[in-house]
Structure 1
Amino acid sequence: MSILFRAVLAFLALKLGNLAINVATFPVLTGAGSARPRPTVSLLVPMRDEADRLVHTLPAILAQGVDELILLDDCSTDATYQLAETMTADHRQARVLAGAPTPPGWTGKTWACQQLGAQATSESLVFCDADVVLAPGAVLSVLAEQQRQGADLLSVFPQQQTASIGEHLLVPLVDDVLLCFLPFPLLRADVPSAATANGSLMVFNRRAYDVLGGFEAVRGDVVEDVALARLARRRGLQLGVVLGGAIVRTRMYYGYRACVTGFARGLLATTGGSRARLVLAAGWHLLAYAVPPLLSWRRPRWALVVVLGVVERLVVEAKTGRRQWWQAVLQPLSPLAALPLFVQALRRTQHWKGRPYTYVAAPSRRLTGVRP
């Protein structure tokens, strides 16, 4: 066997091994049960240019039956604020706030969430992105899962909804990375790289939020959810994660271009700011997934690698509940589709919804607000 073949085979075997562990252990929201005793709940929704999304997501958010619902318009350039006010007019527990302009040193989302946290009055703070679709009783299910895991901070990885080919190629990689590289049992271990979270839906108990210092603690971080998780680990707080299943779903980006722009915004941070690691990761995934189908025409043993890649995607689809089985055949094309994403991520400054985002390297970490 060639060295390359053995290396790729070992890589896929490692991923499939982690995936097997997560199939057995990674929790998925089912909608069964509710928190006992039930805490008071503030559902907090940051919004920027979400008018097109709110029509589909806000009715389900309003139906969650929480003690207070606060929506904050983060200086939108569309009709987000007006639409939110109209849709919440008959709901006494709901308030719509106009956010203040983002101060220097903050990202737009961390500042919006910080303002929301300052307004909340409940024992549990549930931060939910405006593009998240909640099933009936979703918030109660999340709180029950938080209690079951004994988590101070629990985040939900929503079931990813995709429509265009570009979305099919790129968005499921979020689940692939989570389920193939992070065995769920490691979440309770003192391993910094195993501390992760998803900012689409995060729930804090009030004590944990105060211990962390709110979103001010990660005010300049582009990937604020992971930064919060790592800070929580350092502060001795218990982390929890759960897959959203059919209870919490989202369509993150609409179309290929939006996927590239959205994912590129935080990709450099995942390598600690190392562009060399970013290039190596792109090249390695091309070798592991895109090249084997070409080699298998002349070297049949490479067909095994192709099959393992497809099996990996099928198992991820099954675990997340997406069950878009036909998309498994796209697995070899995903690294090719991701190349523009990696190229864009190499730039120092990214743009999203009209705002610049610049990665701040670790030596300047104090400028991002993450406390040692």
Structure 2
Amino acid sequence: MDNASTVESAISLLLLLIQLPATAILLSRLIKGPRRHPPIQPQQPTPELLGSVSVVVPTLNEALRISPLLVGLSKQSYEVREIIVVDSNSQDSTPDLVKAAQQKDPRFRLMTDDPLPSGWVGRPWALHSGFLHTCETSQWFLGMDADTQPHPGLVASLVKTAQTQGYDLVSLSPQFVLKYPGECWLQPALLMTLLYRFDPAGIESEQPERVMANGQCFLCRRSVLAAVGGYASAKSSFCDDVTLARYIAAQGFKVGFVDGAKVLKVRMYEGAMETWKEWGRSLDLKDASPSAQVWGDLWLLSAVQGLPLLIILSCLSLLPLLPLLPLLFLLGLNLFLLMIRFAMLLAIAHSYDRKSAKGGWLFWLSPLADPIAVLRIFLSAFHTPREWRGRKYTTGNEE
């Protein structure tokens, strides 16, 4: 064996040592899939749900995206007592749109949050302010984002799921609406970084630090939220939904995360660049995780999502050396990981609305974007956001 072969064998063995444990962890999560709670279906309310839910929506310059939410909330039935829109001094027509909705549905209420206190990030402050103004007789608090598009029956089905499963807090994974080629290619790869790190939606995590949540549709018992001080535990977090959910789980309450693709759509960002900038900066979840967990997740993502395609291409460029046993094992492992990746892409296809997308076929090529998606998580993990939704931060927790 010459020197080149020796080096290739050593590198192959090192990569196998990095990838094999990560592959085992990934498989241990994927085999839980058949036990997950099925996607929730739209349901009609029953009399005992009358006026049981207060909805709070934080807004800042959302005029271009909020209309589907306002229409969707107005179609929810008598289980919704009130819909409080907490606006942070929008400079566009967001308040006017909310006032117009209020003329048709008196459940809407517009309020402006107080100036941001030191140590708070804008979104959790707006949600906290809204929570403090909700009716105390409501049993449930429902936080929703301005970019969501709720179907009729969303709120009733969410509350009934929480009651049936005994959840104190439950949030949904939505169906994402795609429109442009770049996002069709990049966004599924970014979403996959979450699916690799956590159990499937519909599986209850036994460890509070591994709980997942989505603040776009976030239902919590009002008594529980009051007991933990509202959003105070997540006040400085750029992923306040996960931070708060994990804090609540650590207090012994039951937290769920289920598939809501049949009751909720989301149009998050316009194009690949905005997706890269805005969504990518919070996917590392560093504000909700200890540093050891962040580093562990970066290793896992690198091993099972970021490296396989690069390793396969490298192995194919070394065809004369493929008879080397370590290199053959390495190639086989990464072909296996690539097969898993395409299988997972098929499994999440229902989570994307590509009917009106230009270049929707690029969705099926999103595994090619995996190294870029993992790079985005690395960049985010080592960078504190300075701007969010048009708001500028002078420090990590000041706006």
Q: Say whether the fold is shared (TM-score over 0.5).
A: yes
**Aligned equivalents of 1:276 and 1:90: distance in 2?**
50
Question: Which residue of 1 is the match for residue 65 of structure 2?
Answer: 53
Q: Is 1:136 aligned with 2:148?
A: no
Query: Counterpart in 2 of 1:370?
Result: none
Q: Distance in 2 between matches of 1:276 and 1:242?
A: 26
Deviation for aligned residue 1:233 = 1.8
**What secondary structure sits across from 1:37 in the alignment?**
helix
Query: In structure 2, which of residues 277, 289, 310 is the aligned counterpart of residue 261 of structure 1?
Result: 277
Q: CA shift at 1:123, angstroms? A: 1.6
Alpha carbons of structure 1 residues 314 and 16: separation in structure 2 relative to 1, 3 Å: farther
Look up the match of 1:151.
167
**1: distance between equivalents of 2:185 and 2:378?**
14
Equivalent position to 1:19, from 12, 27, 30:
30
Contact 1:35 1:141 in 2 (8 A): no
The one-character-per-residue Cα deviations of 1:16-41 (angstroms, maximum 9, x if unpaired) are 45234224414311114646732511
Equivalent positions of 1:132-281 (< 5 A) are 132-173=148-189, 175-183=191-199, 187-189=204-206, 191-266=207-282, 267=284, 268-269=286-287, 272=290
Question: Among residues 84, 87, 92, which one is paired with 1:78 in the alignment?
Answer: 92
Distance change >3 Å, CA 11–CA 162, structure 1 → 2:
farther
CA distance in 2 between counterparts of 1:9 and 1:316 reads: 25
CA distance in structure 1 between the aligned counterparts of 2:253 and 2:335, rounded to whole angstroms:
45
Moved more, 221-230 or 307-316: 307-316
Distance 1:35 1:219, change over 3 A: farther
What amino acid sits opposite 1:309 in the alignment?
R
Q: Which amino acid aligns with 2:372?
A: L
> Per-residue displacement from partner, 1:236-294 (whole Å, max 9, x unpaired)?
11111111112111022111221122134323436645786687567544313444245
DSSP-derived class of the 1:104 partner: coil
TM-score, normalising length: structure 1 = 0.84
Distance 1:144 1:93, change over 3 A: same
1:81–1:98: 8 Å Cα contact kept in structure 2?
A: no
Which deviates more from structure 2 when the two are superposed, residues 294-303 or residues 58-67? 294-303
In the TM superposition, residue 344 of structure 1 has moved relative to its aligned partner by 5.3
Shift of 1:47: 0.9
Native 8 Å contact 2:237 2:243 kept in 1: yes
SS in 2 for 1:127: strand
Judged with a 3 Å threshold, the aligned counterparts in structure 2 of structure 1 residues 345 and 165 are, in CA distance, closer, same or farther, namely: farther
Shift of 1:328: 3.2
**2:348 aligned counterpart, secondary structure:** helix
Q: Deviations over 1:303-342 (max 9, x none)?
A: 4443332223222335x47687862332132322553564
Task: Decide which of 95, 100, 112 is 2:114's aligned counterpart.
Answer: 100
Count of matched residue positions in the alignment of Structure 1 and Structure 2: 359
Shift of 1:166: 3.2
Q: Distance in 2 between matches of 1:44 and 1:52?
A: 19
* Uncovered stretches (5+) of structure 2, i.e. residues with no partner: 1-8, 323-330, 355-359
Q: Distance in 2 between matches of 1:338 and 1:183?
A: 18
2:44·2:153 contact (CA, 8 Å) conserved in 1? no
- 8 Å contact from structure 1 (residues 134, 247) kept in 2: yes
Match of 1:89 in 2: 103
- The structure that has the greater radius of gyration is 2
Supply the AA of the counterpart residue of 2:114: A
Q: 1:176 to 1:288 in 2, by over 3 A?
A: same
In the alignment, the residues of structure 2 paired with residue 271 and residue 206 of structure 1 have an alpha-carbon distance, to the nearest angstrom, of 25
Counterpart for residue 350 of structure 1? 386
Partner of 1:52, secondary structure, is coil
The answer to whether the Cα contact below 8 Å between 1:282 and 1:342 also exists between their aligned partners in 2 is no
1-structure distance, mates of 2:181, 2:361:
14
Structure 1 19/177 Cα, relative in aligned 2: closer, same or farther at 3 Å?
Answer: farther
Identity %: 25
Asked whether the 8 Å contact 2:87–2:110 carries over to 1, the reply is: yes
Q: Is the 8 A contact 2:72 2:151 kept in 1?
A: yes
1:292–1:306: 8 Å Cα contact kept in structure 2?
A: no
* Cα distance change on mapping 1:24 and 1:133 into 2, 3 Å: same
Q: Of residues 111, 124, 127 in structure 2, which corresponds to 1:113? A: 127
6-15 vs 58-67, which deviates more? Answer: 6-15
Deviations 1:212-235 (A, max 9, x none): 110123211121111111211222
Q: Does 1:287 align with 2:307?
A: yes
1:134, 1:157 → 2: CA distance?
12
CA deviations over 1:181-227 (Å, ceiling 9, x no partner): 333686352x2322221111111112111111101232111211111
Specify the SS of the correspondent of 1:69: strand
* Equivalent residue in structure 2 for 1:306, among 330, 338, 344: 338
Asked whether the equivalents of residues 53 and 81 of structure 2 are also in contact (C-alpha less than 8 Å), the reply is: yes
